[in-house]
Structure 1
Amino acid sequence: MDAHSAKLASARARLLAVTSLDEMVSALNATGREIAGSDGIAVVLRSGGFCHYVAEDAIMPLWRGSRFRLEECISGWAMLNGRAAVVPDVWSDLRVPVAVYKSSSVRSLVMTPIGTPIPVAALGAYWCASVEPDDGTVRRLQALADMATEALTRLQPSTCAA
């Protein structure tokens, strides 16, 4: 088993045991940066028509506590479209609100939806350098997001269950 697989297996075990949203967020933060090799990770919850950045593990504060309209945020795009957003260059992707990123060092990101059939959250990974996230990185992040879906389904069955 390679290091990424071992880290995901550990995350799965931890997520199977969570009893609160805070524990789930902590488990995602503990694993996300390592499996992506990213400079930061964020957990974003859908709150009505908004994205709420509830947690982050980053080299500098980004958007924790901030809320953005779903239609004006890359995490909202991932939730509304139910698929990962892979953004090698935040400055050239029209889905990214560039004004919000001007004060950050973020140059590349992947945002994966959490929840099914309707995503209710997102898991984001950020890089300070321009990075072309490979398929393996995106698959690992989506696998972690899918594990979070299972945890959310147990914590809030009416929110995530099909």
Structure 2
Amino acid sequence: MHHLDAARDLSAARDLPSIAVVVRTVARAMTGAQGVTFVLREDGNCFYADEDAIAPLWKGQRFPLSTCISGWAMLNDATAVIPDITLDPRIPQAAYRPTFVRSLAMVPVGSPLPVAAIGAYWSRARRPPAAAVAALQQIAALTATAMNRIDLTTAPWAPNFALHPTPAD
């Protein structure tokens, strides 16, 4: 999978569920991660809309923006690179303990007010490869363009999703 494949597939996506499928598939292939999540900013929550992983993570669950790393990435409009989840205070340990995740990278989608995030996860503590983080950032930029192009009401699993969150969120 290549950056051009991601661009082609995201430009062909006509609704939010289609974008989610492309994001999870392309991000996992381009990063070599053992898991990927596509997370939407929904009111004051992070909605884990889709995932592709070696074991279940959080698909379909909602967490307050202020209590998870995807929320941190969206609220700060910044990429988080976490080599060891047990050592980072931004990680809700109880949510991660039952999973395979030991390291991760989380990138915001859309700037300056991110509307989503893409996470990549690995099963051992290590610094995520710079090339994987760069690939996630490229996918996030393409995803933001695709999300701006579509009608976001096409996501039956995210009925409260707002494309343009307010800075007060």
Which of residues 125, 148, 151 is equivalent to 2:143?
148
Identity of aligned residues (%): 42
1:87 equivalent in structure 2: 82
Q: What is the number of residues matched between the two proteins? A: 155
2:95 equivalent in structure 1: 100
1:38 partner amino acid: A
1:109 equivalent in structure 2: 104
Which of residues 31, 43, 49 is equivalent to 1:48?
43
1:155 partner amino acid: I
SS in 1 for 2:117: strand
2:65 equivalent in structure 1: 70
Which of residues 114, 128, 147 is equivalent to 2:123?
128
1:122 partner amino acid: A
1:26 partner amino acid: V
Distance in 2 between the 1:66 and 1:15 partners? Answer: 24
- Greater RCO structure (CA 8 Å; 6+ sep): 2
Root-mean-square deviation (Å):
1.4
Give per-residue Cα distances to partners, 1:1-47, cap 9 Å, x unaligned.
xxxxx521101011111110011001111111111111000000001
| Structure 1 residue 12 corresponds to structure 2 residue 7 | yes
2:26 equivalent in structure 1: 31
Distance in 2 between the 1:155 and 1:116 partners? Answer: 17
Provide the TM-score with structure 1 as the length reference: 0.91
2:167 equivalent in structure 1: none
Tell me which stretches of 4 or more aligned residues in structure 1 moved more than 4 Å.
none
Gaps (5+ residues) in structure 2?
Answer: 153-161, 165-169
Distance in 1 between the 2:163 and 2:11 partners? Answer: 17
| Structure 1 residue 119 corresponds to structure 2 residue 93 | no
